[in-house]
Amino acid sequence: MPPGLMFQAPVKDPSRGSPMIKITQTVVFLLKALVAGLAMAFVVLYFWPQFDKTDRSALAAPGNSTPGTKPLPSGPFSYPDAVDLAAPAVVSIYTTSLDPQPVDAQTQEKLGLRMLYRMSRDMGSGVLVSEDGYILTNHHVISSAQNIQIGLWDGRIALAQVVGSDPQTDLAVLKINLNGLPIIPIAESEPVRVGDVVLAIGNALGLSHTVTMGIVSATERNTLDSLAFEGFIQTDAAINAGNSGGALINARGDLIGINTRHLGGATGAQNIGFAIPMATAKEVMKQIIDYGSVRRGWLGAWVSNMPPTTSADGKPVAAGLMVRKVTRDGPAWLAGIRQGDEIVSLNGEVVLDSQAFELKIAMSKPGTQIELEVSRNGQKFETYATLIQQPPME
């Protein structure tokens, strides 16, 4: 070693060689890579959502939701399968009628006629519900028609016969004699709920098999005073002239109602339509086919809603129905019910709405025995009434 130079050992770099240091560096590197990957995936899915292949149905399966939360709903977001299933059974109805037109005195004297008749044409929709050609539609579609033609999905045209009609529910049953008829599936058990997606199919404005979509806005809507017996499904699916008598289906293509009317015109309403529930339609159809008309139960008592009441703590208290009138020797009279009584329950179920009560009575067959809980001067008692055939409406 040259004089004056001292040997100095190289200083060891503490960042190299230590196992702990190497592990830390590796973890940091992996975390940076993971963050960068997640950021890139977020950008890709945000701008190109079609690359998201997540199985949503698995997320919605029972047991896959966190405690205290509802599972994600599962269902189609496009409805061609439902339309393919239901639309072939929806028919277009074209009617011809002779409408009487009064004439003035001069014409009467000149022609010797007191009345002239004008031929008018109208249209509506209907639904094939059986292979032997029965069609459900609205009473108002065919009520004054002398000639009814049915246009089918496959282009065939057939003359229809009126089996029977019921103005109190605005339902009618027609029949055609053709083979190979498509039949619409009818929803049997699953209840219709507010928020359900629904499709209306019909001959809207003469455009056959027009399909519109909406949701159920309400069920048991019975405050329109348009029919003797209501209980409509309300929907915002567009229902236009010509849709009357057509199908209201759920997202699977099952028939849940018969479209009957909409609010609009002078009201300024938009997309507020109504359909007759299939529970009512099936019962009316069955009776029309069996008897040619509807046989309704009748209690012989007229009721109205009680004014809402509250308890001392301000909570609403359930109230019954006030009996306004009782027909002497009718079923209600024979059961001991009198004017001024309050009907609290029907067959064990509390009654709060007069129209819903009257519909349940009407949909019961004559001869049915019902149980009523009645309150008179604060004292409750139970009684039984046997319904009879509803007399002709005045």
**Per-residue pLDDT reduced to its tens digit, 284-336:** 999 999 988 888 889 999 998 887 776 677 676 667 899 999 999 999 999 99
253 dihedral zone (left: phi>0; alpha: psi -120 to 50; beta): left
> Which one from 125, 139, 140, 364 is the annotated catalytic residue?
140
* pLDDT of 381: 92
Residue 59 has pLDDT above 90, yes or no: no
CA–CA dist 18, 12 (Å, integer): 11
Question: Please, which residues bridge with residue 374 across strands?
Answer: 343, 381
* pLDDT of 360: 86
> b or e along 199-210 (b: 16 or more beta carbons within 10 Å of the residue's beta carbon)?
bbbbbbeeebbb
Residue 183 has pLDDT above 90, yes or no: yes
Residue 255 has pLDDT above 50, yes or no: yes
Q: In this predicted model, which residue has the larger pLDDT, 279 or 393? A: 279
* pLDDT of 128: 97
> Which one from 125, 208, 217, 244 is the annotated catalytic residue?
244
* pLDDT of 62: 46
Supply 136's token pair: 């459900």
Q: Please, which pLDDT band fits residue 57 given cuts at 50, 70 and 90?
A: very low
Q: In this predicted model, which residue has the larger pLDDT, 254 or 8? A: 254
φ, ψ at 332 (rounded to 5°)? -65, -40
Q: What are the CA-CA distances from residue 329 to residues 92, 336, 365, 388, 389 (Å)?
A: 47, 10, 19, 12, 14
CA–CA dist 31, 26 (Å, integer): 9
Which domains does the chain show, CATH number per domain? 76-103+113-294 (2.40.10.120), 297-389 (2.30.42.10)
Active site includes 139? no
Supply 299's token pair: 């209690």
> Which one from 166, 170, 196, 341 is the annotated catalytic residue?
170
Global pTM exceeds 0.95? no
CA–CA dist 190, 170 (Å, integer): 24
Residue 273 has pLDDT above 80, yes or no: yes
Q: Summarize the confidence of residues 172-185 as an average pLDDT.
A: 95
- pLDDT tens-digit map of 5-30: 444 545 555 545 566 666 677 767 77
**Which amino acid is located at 43 in the chain?**
V
Active site includes 262? no
Active site includes 225? no
